[in-house]
Chains A and B, each alone.
Chain A
């Protein structure tokens, strides 16, 4: 029985650890922290394996555990998003992002509330509705965050082009 569950769990690890690692990296912005976070995520998932009723939901379940573990390990609190956070609060690319800014730097500089849905969409391939479920947000709120994140990335890219042109 335990051996069967172990084999099943090993499959999950092999299937999802690359994308979860990338997601963890972009949340933490640090490779070592990302790997630690992934270890903790799977350790937590193994302990809670009986909670997973639907195997088809295992991927989203792991993403959710990773988010919660990150909050537990690095923030000591759950994610709290301020729905009223304005795009103005996103760092101005001209000042906060290095002049030779690339897309990675721009993504790295996005506030977590904007960065995270974008990562879930790019890395996880999730829809707005699915991201809303994982992040406990409405679909509308997810769409707003994604749009603002893309606008911020566009600004950053334009800023770099201007810098190069000078």
Chain B
């Protein structure tokens, strides 16, 4: 390394020395002196840029950047409150059905979803249960999710899973075994089921409940059984 090359590197980085520079400075007194001087000058000059930092600067920055998080928390709280109100309203409505009018099937058209469901359960379900077929659980779960419903738990098991006709298309046909006896749940995520109606026909009771763009139908032995399953869905 020549003195020129040494000094070129020295002026660019006085505080670092490559192995070649170390070797050169060991044998060149003038460059060794220049190196010491350059380092001292650089340190003295650099001290000037270390200006005082304002007090509590990191704390002020933290407050600033937390703002979006704070907003996020406010939104989360608002969403929680809204969900609470919706659930409360839903529960109120569910309990309110204790006094709900149970219509006679004769008073409703045959293509009413609840009436059609009772007919389907009575006419076709015994045969389907004997066939012991099981549908796709993923499809069923997707239907629950699309309707914003929970899969019934609390001592309830799925006995049968398949498809069934509903007015306007097909639904997911689920037969549940509950502590209150067998219950048929039909999920209709893609077709409207009209306004809520509870109907009694022969020995069964059914309710059709709109949810989102579709709805569900529950068929059981009594209004109490149906209400029990409806609570499990919420």
Task: Give A residues with C-beta under 8 Å from B.
Answer: 2, 6, 9-10, 13-14, 17-18, 21-22, 25-26, 31, 35, 38-39, 42-43, 46-47, 102-104, 107, 119, 121-123, 127-128, 142-144, 146-147, 150-151, 153-154
Contacts and interface: CB of A to CB of B under 8 A. Distances in A.
Given A17-B58, A38-B57, A119-B49, A142 B69 contact: no
Nearest to B48: A103
B71 to A, nearest CB: 13
Interface stretch (B8-16, B198-206, B207-215, B224-232): B8-16
Contacts of A154: 41
- Secondary structure class of chain B's binding surface, majority of residues: helix
B51 A35 contact: no
Nearest to A150: B11
Interface size bracket, B side: 20 to 34
A147 B58 contact: no
In terms of DSSP, what is the predominant structure of the interface of chain A? Answer: helix
A122 B51 CA distance: 12
21 contacts: A2-B69, A10-B62, A13-B61, A22-B51, A26-B49, A35-B54, A39-B60, A39-B65, A42-B64, A47-B68, A103-B45, A107-B48, A119-B49, A122-B46, A123-B49, A143-B8, A143-B9, A144-B12, A146-B11, A146-B13, A147-B12
B53 A18 contact: yes
B4 interface: no
A40 to B, nearest CB: 9
A122 B49 contact: yes
A102 B48 contact: yes
B61 A17 contact: yes
